[in-house]
Structure 1
Amino acid sequence: MRSWSYTLLTAFLLGLTAPVFADDKAPEYDARLSGYSYPFDVQTFEFDSQRQSLEMAYMHLPAEKGQSTVLLLHGKNFAADYWEETANYLHEKGYGVLMPDQIGFGKSSKPAHYQFSFEALA
């Protein structure tokens, strides 16, 4: 039989590891991650690809006059917000930074039928 101190310790430890939210509800995320904040303003680029109308979400930090813009592409299972630290560093150096969410990831469209080849993503 477990002692009351074991039960109390278990309840305390569970309380330490439980997520805490202001309204006691976990945030809800839809397919476009509308409830998830990105570190910079998000814009969208509308285009047609593979006979579908799609939207690619992206963040852009403008370059200082005369400086180049760096394109940062995330890998699979990531999103553009992955680049926050790198983007801040480059922008502090005067570079422009463009960080798109590839189709199927982050805040971009997630089509059910899409060829995710390197050519299509480019």
Structure 2
Amino acid sequence: MTEQLVCNSADLAQYKKVLSSLLLALAAGASSALLPRVDAPAPFNSSLFKDLNVSRGLNYHYYAVPADTGKPTLLFLHGFPSTSYDWCHQVTFFQDKGYGLLVPDMLGYGGTSKPLDPQLYVSSLVTRNIIDILC
């Protein structure tokens, strides 16, 4: 059976626009111009952390904030080695603006499974895991 991810084209276009702008600005080193300085970000609300066993049997730990009406949900993926907490400033900023947020600990980090088999870290498989969380 083939699974199909259904996306609302208007939401997808909005996600792409917001994320593209942020990624370009961050790559250019303009993060301080986009986001206000936060010296001591509020810790993540512990009641918004979730755990999910994805279709491959691995556990993913992630932070999930529902969006206010009319706002999209943003996906934040950290780099390596790192955890979801690296996004604490962005989470604070966007959560206060009513955006939905999905901020997972990637495979091998934080509260997510840490399998020893390197084949489980292949990008296409990790992508499938993230899609499982999104759905």
Which TM-score band (shorter chain)?
0.5 to 0.7
The answer for the alignment partner of 1:119 in structure 2 is: 124
Post-superposition offset of 1:78? 0.4
Structure richer in helix, relative to its length: 2
Separation in 2, partners of 1:120, 1:40:
29
Structure 2: gaps (5+ residues): 1-42, 128-135
More strand by share: 1
Identity of aligned residues (%): 29
Match of 2:51 among 27, 32, 44: 44
**Unpaired stretches in structure 1, ≥5 consecutive residues:** 1-37
Q: Which amino acid counterpart does residue 47 of structure 1 have in structure 2?
A: V
TM-score of the pair, normalised by structure 2: 0.56
Alignment root-mean-square deviation, CA: 1.4
Following superposition, the deviation at residue 112 of structure 1 comes to 1.3
Aligned residue pair count: 82
- Which protein shows a greater Rg? 1
Matches within 5 A, 1:6-45: 39-41=44-46, 42-45=49-52
Tell me the CA shift for residue 114 of structure 1.
3.8
The one-letter code sitting in structure 2 at the alignment partner of 1:48 is S
Q: Cα deviation per residue 1:69-108 (whole Å; 9 max; x = unaligned)? A: 0000000100011111101101111111110111111110
Is 1:103 paired with 2:107?
A: yes
